[in-house]
A and B are shown apart, each in its own frame.
Chain A
């Protein structure tokens, strides 16, 4: 009997092993030492899945696009800072509040730097954050629904560029200002910029459970331009590093006047120290006005709260909190290697990369070896903090990522190439051209303790002849390099949407099993939702008409409505009753001064229509939902404003 049980256990284990190996969807066979072609490396067979997700910022599209690597296929455009008629984001009553700011409704932004949440310095796949550069905002996007859940405006900031990078346990998402401005804003001559303007660096706390953001404090720094930033990690966890330019504090013709100093700074901020200071009651609460927009998945609705104050911190009041590391030639990217030891300043006007040592920085601070100060902030000696210089032979270094195997990869905008070099020895190992003028690059997990160093994606600013010509305006181009070997190999080239400034990638396994398929109708708490078609109704409140409508393949309930009048404001509250994966219904009304709605299973969305003409006007489903999709339509009778026709509604009646 015991023998039988044992053999049954063995059988069960064998079964598990077989089913595990069957479930591997990658299915790539290992060809061993035989070199395979580039085509084979990027080919993902029909029905197979990519190995990595890549989230590319959309730049001036205001959105975030989701791609697969290595195929370069785009899966989704996630609306973040821009109105998106495809789904109704920013048009629907539920999502309009997402785009509220202290300047009113701002339907667009310039989305720059996505960063995936981390735990212990490794990607955890809960959320992705991205900054709006123009009207300073930070957005949080859920990585289960792949929808924007929260946007917080950043007051006292202008050109929210050194953002949105997160600390290694997602304690903070950090947002630094590019432009320095008068704080608080006031009417003053522009030429009085120097020593009067300030640059704010905002530390926005992230609730570990819900992800909700709240500005913990703003550090009021000298009036430089804060260009990019990255968190310390592992040994340097607790510090944050920001590159600066225009330490000259010029207010005009910056391309000349901000390029005079041989060295600008990397600002090293000990946020743990400031956090402690703030937790002990430090800092000054300052009046402010900024929007906090939160989308609730259960009500499918966003709400805006205007916040009225923000805690500011004067760096001089917290000794030991901020130091300046001199860094040559207007550094752009500020990158920290996976060990947290090296801080790389990508001096965009030079040929060389400057690498600072965290250990040397700490030693210099402890020995108080300062080389003067700027606005009271100690400047460390360049030679004391320098770990090494990469003599790259390229021109215009912008950004560096890491492969987790001791190598770094830097983009060179002017010489249009990616250069691979070795951390510690600073020797250049390889260089490959890009097409053309590369800005950012991305290795999945490249901004974490644990990069997945298999591919690097180069995001180029200039496309020109890479694809079939489409007139003067075209999409940008990206290239994928295989970096698994000693030398990089260009394996693919694909267009990207908008202007990707940076991207974040992660292994597909981290997200794909958590992605939501439907919203549960029985969890829908939208105040205008109906959970059964017999609850469908039309109500009049003065000149507002509220239509509670449901959809299921392939009809609207109700689909005939009478009693609407010219001058009314009609609200269509539409609940999709499908509970099947990938069966959305759309809605559009003739003459609507708005966009369509695309309503996912279990979701409720609302759109408005102000009928201007008497008549019988149709609406229809915009998503080809079934074989009877063309039949999914209805009519609204619009009567003159003084008509006494009562509201009525029906489905399937004669």
Chain B
């Protein structure tokens, strides 16, 4: 049970990587951008892959009427997510400690995992909603108002995952180090559950 507790603690702490590393990265390459523009999405804000990328993405997006990318204080998510994350990591560590001290059951690891998964899915859903709004809620006075093949107004929602062609841009949206650390961390909490269960059945 001690091992399971330690694994639970390590797994939870890995989520702190989200403060240091981007969760997601969207790269925009085009013929005239041999070095692609890019934005890193952190839990607490959006930053350019290169220093002026956000400014330059905004500059290009104004042609098609997209809003400027939100700064950290313009979106409630960038205020709330860090707090939620701290809370859930703390909870995971406490569960781990209590598991190691054999005060609580290994089932708490699984409960934490399920709770975290639900929050994660909600987060992704929210992120996708924002991207939908960002890509479709366009300025009616946009310089370029383009239609798709069916005659409907073009939308510019970046893909949630993977590759998409948007006008002259090749857009690639992929998880980054923060997300991988979260994935490994969450997997460890599941491992903590199984290790905990195994030691519970053998003793």
Contact = CB atoms under 8 A, between A and B. Distances in A.
A33 interface: no
A627 B167 CA distance: 14
Interface in A529-571: 552-553
B52 A579 contact: yes
Contacts of B59: 552-553, 578, 580
A628 interface: yes
A175 to B, nearest CB: 41
B63 A579 contact: no
B55 A579 contact: yes
Contacts of A628: 63, 143
B63 A627 contact: yes
Interface in A493-520: 518
Contacts of A578: 59
Interface of B is mostly: mixed
Contacts of A579: 51-52, 55-56
B47 to A, nearest CB: 15
Interface string A613-654: 000000000000011100000000000000000000000000
Contacts of A627: 63, 144
A388 to B, nearest CB: 53
A578 B35 CA distance: 17
A220 B56 CA distance: 58
Most A CB contacts (10 A, CB to CB) among B52, B56, B144 go to B52
A626 B51 CA distance: 22
Contacts of B143: 628
Contacts of B144: 627
A518 B143 CA distance: 27
A626 B168 CA distance: 14
A578 B143 CA distance: 19
The interface centre, meaning the residue of A518, A580, A627 with most chain B CB atoms within 10 A of its CB, is A580
Contacts of B52: 518, 579-580
B29 to A, nearest CB: 14
Interface residues of B, number: 9
A553 B52 CA distance: 15
Contacts, number: 18
A579 B51 CA distance: 9
Contacts of A518: 52
Contacts of A580: 52, 55-56, 59
Nearest to A627: B63
Nearest to A552: B59
A43 to B, nearest CB: 21
Interface in B52-88: 52, 55-56, 59, 63
Interface in A560-603: 578-581
A79 to B, nearest CB: 26
Interface of A is mostly: loop
A581 B53 CA distance: 11
Nearest to B35: A581
Nearest to B144: A627
A621 to B, nearest CB: 15
A633 to B, nearest CB: 15
B63 to A, nearest CB: 7
Interface in B112-145: 143-144
A635 B55 CA distance: 28
Nearest to B62: A553
B8 to A, nearest CB: 20
Contacts of B51: 579
B154 to A, nearest CB: 15
A581 B51 CA distance: 12
B50 to A, nearest CB: 10
A579 B55 CA distance: 8
Interface string B29-63: 00000010000000000000001100110010001
Contacts of B55: 579-580
A580 B59 CA distance: 10
A602 to B, nearest CB: 10
B62 to A, nearest CB: 8
A248 to B, nearest CB: 61
B66 to A, nearest CB: 15
Contacts of B35: 581
A518 to B, nearest CB: 8
B60 to A, nearest CB: 8
B68 to A, nearest CB: 13
Contacts of A581: 35
Contacts of A626: 63
A552 B59 CA distance: 9
A580 B56 CA distance: 7
A452 to B, nearest CB: 28
B54 to A, nearest CB: 10
Interface in B155-173: none
A627 B143 CA distance: 10
A550 to B, nearest CB: 13
A580 B144 CA distance: 21
A232 to B, nearest CB: 44
A531 to B, nearest CB: 13
Nearest to A47: B34
B180 to A, nearest CB: 15
Nearest to B59: A553
A627 B56 CA distance: 15
A442 B35 CA distance: 34
Nearest to B56: A580
A581 B143 CA distance: 23
Nearest to B60: A553
Interface in A250-282: none
A627 B144 CA distance: 10
Interface string B9-35: 000000000000000000000000001
B99 to A, nearest CB: 23
Interface string A396-411: 0000000000000000
A574 B32 CA distance: 25
A404 B136 CA distance: 64
Nearest to A626: B63
With a 10 A CB-CB cut-off, give which of B51, B56, B59 has the most chain A CB atoms: B59
Interface string B184-202: 0000000000000000000
Contacts of B56: 579-580
A175 B52 CA distance: 43
A75 B63 CA distance: 31
A153 to B, nearest CB: 39
Contacts of B63: 626-628
A578 B59 CA distance: 9
A14 B134 CA distance: 41
User: Could you say which of A518, A581, A627 has the most chain B C-beta atoms within 10 Å of its C-beta?
Assistant: A581
A626 B144 CA distance: 13
B78 to A, nearest CB: 23
14 contacts: A518-B52, A552-B59, A553-B59, A578-B59, A579-B51, A579-B52, A579-B55, A579-B56, A580-B52, A580-B55, A580-B59, A627-B63, A627-B144, A628-B63
Given A553-B59, A579-B56, A626-B63, 4 more contacts: A579-B52, A580-B52, A580-B59, A581-B35
Interface of A: 518, 552-553, 578-581, 626-628
A-B pairs, top 4 by smallest CB distance, nearest first, are A579-B52, A580-B56, A579-B55, A553-B59
